[in-house]
Each structure stands twice: as structure tokens, then as C-alpha cells.
């Protein structure tokens, strides 16, 4: 498959937030999030759509720095949207949202809702990041529950009704179950110094991956260059 390209730019010596800022803006434009200027003078975007957008952030394998990117992107996308968003932990084997956003890990979470067939979705917890709620995995999370498309669809429908943007911190792409087919878009985070192109290709060839909803690949841990955003269509 052909993944939409990114543009790269050298970072400043003192460190810069420009790469992530531009990446967040590119994602917001692709998703058509509120807070993004209209592409034409006569276009009038809805300031708060009734159906929120769902962004899955995944990786080719564990340890690519995906959860770090999720935390940084959540702050920037919340500022763009101008309303409360939610980060959901779908990585049952290595949950991290509760620690990153400082919410209780033992409350009812995503996998509790999936176990209830998506019919009971509890309240999200406000995190330490203003305007960002967090929903942990929940205790006893079963990774195989992500393959239950009906339950996942019902949970995502409820989240879309509550939030303008849902960011899912997902497991590696081969283990995302039905998430990528039910979300609006998927961003793949890659450790540029560790993961080979062949490994990325093999990941993207997984049968359940919704290729038409792949936003692109964000390169992480790049010494001199950083992937800063999706090219405009």
C-alpha cells in the first residue's frame, strides 16, 4: 500500500515543539475537527459536530514510543478543538494511559464496557491535563475483546456522542482487532532507529487493517529530523 507522505524539517538545536504542533494540525485538518479554519471562504464548519472523530494511534511493535506521542498529541489536539476530548487505553497487555494522565487504573474501563457488549459505558475521569479526560483499560482486560466488532462499534458510538475527538492508545497494529476498521483514521508510530521498512510493510499488510483510513507514519526518535505533519490532500 502507499502511505500518505509526511514532510520533514530539521529541528532547532534547543529543541522545538514545531514537529508535533504541525503534526497535530495536519491530523486535525484530515479529520475535519472543529477549530480548523474552513478551506474555502464560503464553507462554514460546524463548531461542535454531533458525531465526534476517532483517531487510533498504533505501532508496528511494542516499544516504539507510541504512548509518549499520544500524550503529546492529546494536549495539542485539545487546544485545536477547544473542547474536552478523551484518551482511551486499548493496550491491554501494556496499559499506560492511567499513569500518563494520572487517573485510577482500577476503575471500570474500556474492556469492562466491551465485556458488557458495549451496552454499558461508564463515566470517564478528568485527567491532570486540562480539557483531556482519560479512560483506562480497566482490571482484567482481555486483548481479544477488540475483535468483537459489534461491542467495539457500540462503545465508539457512545464516545462519539460525548466527545468531539476520541484518541485511542492502541496495541501494535496486528493486535488492534476491529479498531482500525471502525475508527475514522489511524496513525502509525515507528521507532526510526529500530524498526525496519520490511517490518512496517508486514504490519500494514495485516488482513484487518483498514488501509484507506491510514493517515500515515510518524517517525519517532529521529536524531536530526522529525516527521512533522501530513501533507495536505
- Domain boundaries, position 160: 6-12+20-35+50-230
| pLDDT (0 to 100) of residue 41 | 41
Backbone Cα Rg of the chain: 17
Tell me whether residue 106 is in a domain.
yes
Three cell numbers at 77? 489536539
How high is the pLDDT of residue 191?
Answer: 85
Is residue 44 domain-resident? no
Contact 49, 34 (CB under 8 A): yes
CB 97 within 8 A of CB 136: yes
Does 84 reside within a domain? Answer: yes
What pLDDT is recorded for position 222? 65
Can you give the CATH number for the domain in which 123 is found?
3.40.50.300
Query: Does some domain include residue 129?
Result: yes
Residue 3: the pLDDT is 43
pLDDT at 206: 79
Say how many domains are in the chain: 1
- Is 41 contained in some domain? no
pTM, entire model: 0.82
Supply the pLDDT for residue 22: 82
Judging by beta carbons within 10 Å of its beta carbon (0-12, 13-18, 19+), is residue 204 exposed, middle or buried? middle
With respect to residue 95, please indicate whether it lies within any of the assigned structural domains: yes
- Mean pLDDT (10-residue bins), the chain, 233 residues: 38 46 87 66 42 93 88 94 95 90 86 90 89 91 92 95 96 92 92 81 81 83 48 40
Does residue 45 fall inside a structural domain?
A: no
Amino acid at each position: 500500500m502507499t502511505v500518505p507522505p509526511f514532510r520533514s524539517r530539521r529541528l532547532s538545536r534547543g529543541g522545538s515543539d514545531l514537529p508535533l504542533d504541525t503534526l497535530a494540525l495536519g491530523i486535525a485538518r484530515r479529520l475535519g475537527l472543529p477549530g480548523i479554519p474552513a478551506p474555502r471562504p464560503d464553507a462554514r464548519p460546524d463548531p461542535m459536530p454531533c458525531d465526534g472523530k476517532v483517531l487510533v494511534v498504533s505501532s508496528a511493535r511494542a516499544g516504539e514510543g507510541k504512548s509518549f506521542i499520544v500524550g503529546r498529541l492529546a494536549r495539542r489536539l485539545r487546544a485545536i478543538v477547544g473542547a474536552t476530548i478523551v484518551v482511551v487505553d486499548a493496550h491491554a497487555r501494556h496499559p499506560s494511559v492511567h499513569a500518563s494522565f494520572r487517573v485510577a487504573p482500577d476503575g471500570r474501563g474500556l474492556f469492562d464496557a466491551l465485556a458488557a457488549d458495549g451496552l454499558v459505558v461508564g463515566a470517564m475521569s478528568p485527567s491532570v491535563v486540562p480539557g483531556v479526560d482519560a479512560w483506562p483499560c480497566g482490571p482484567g482486560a482481555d486483548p481479544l475483546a477488540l475483535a468483537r466488532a459489534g461491542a467495539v462499534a457500540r462503545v465508539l458510538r457512545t464516545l462519539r456522542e460525548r466527545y468531539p475527538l476520541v484518541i485511542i492508545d492502541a496495541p501494535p497494529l496486528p493486535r488492534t482487532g476491529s479498531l482500525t476498521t471502525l475508527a475514522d483514521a489511524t496513525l502509525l508510530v515507528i521507532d526510526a532507529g529500530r524498526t525496519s521498512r520490511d517490518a512496517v510493510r508486514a504490519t500494514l499488510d495485516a488482513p484487518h487493517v483498514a488501509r484507506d483510513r491510514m493517515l500515515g507514519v510518524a517517525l519517532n526518535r529521529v536524531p536530526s529530523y522529525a516527521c512533522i505533519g501530513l501533507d495536505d490532500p
